């Protein structure tokens, strides 16, 4: 999110919102407030947050726990007040890179800001598969469920 983003969103501005290369600073609280409603609901496989302050705290917490974070958008689809963004997120933590492919479903309020943000991605596989010893068990467990 380098240039100021203001609603309403289109394909290009959503792609920009969901793009952060490694080495680039995360968006500021002010930038998040430009695009998220005060009452936004955010949910992903690890948390559920209500309100823009809780959303900002969750994003800042993620960035602080990692050595670096990247996000890149792929496909973007918009239909009325709903959008889907397919993305890939990378987290570098203590020399290990964790990659998470996922999708976000966004709903927009009357003023065009995001009022509901739901992320869909596999948290367990990418988190534990690269970890020595634990990774082998996770891969074995996944095979048991999909075989």
> Which tops the pLDDT comparison, 47 or 2?
47
Is residue 140's pLDDT more than 50?
A: yes
- What is the average pLDDT score of the chain? 93
Percent of the chain past pLDDT 70, that is, above it, reads: 97
Rounded Cα distance between 127 and 99, Å, is 8
**Considering its fold, how many domains does the chain have in total?**
1
- Assess if residue 3 is contained within a domain: no
SS3 of 112-141: the string is CCEEEEEEEECCHHHHHCCCCCHHHHHHHH
Residue 51 sits in a domain whose CATH number is 3.10.450.50
- Assess if residue 67 is contained within a domain: yes
pTM here is: 0.89
pLDDT tens for 69-114 read 999 999 999 999 999 999 999 999 998 899 999 999 999 999 999 9
- Assess if residue 15 is contained within a domain: yes
- Domain enclosing residue 95, as ranges: 11-122
In the block, which residue shows the tokens 């050595």? Answer: 67
Report residue 29: phi and psi, to 5°.
-60, -40
């Amino acid at each position: 999110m380098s240039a100021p983003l203001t609603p309403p969103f289109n394909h290009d501005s959503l792609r920009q919102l969901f793009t952060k290369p490694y080495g680039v600073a995360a968006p500021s609280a002010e930038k998040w407030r430009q695009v998220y409603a005060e009452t936004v609901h955010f949910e992903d496989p690890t948390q559920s947050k209500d309100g823009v302050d809780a959303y900002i705290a969750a994003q800042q917490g993620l960035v602080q726990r990692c050595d670096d974070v990247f996000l890149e958008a792929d496909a973007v689809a918009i239909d009325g007040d709903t959008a889907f963004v397919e993305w890939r997120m990378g987290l570098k933590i203590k020399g290990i890179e964790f990659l998470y492919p996922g999708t976000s479903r966004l709903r927009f309020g009357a003023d065009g800001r995001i009022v509901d943000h739901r992320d869909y991605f596999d948290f367990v596989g990418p988190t534990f598969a690269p970890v020595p010893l634990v990774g082998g068990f996770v891969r074995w467990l996944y095979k048991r469920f999909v075989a």
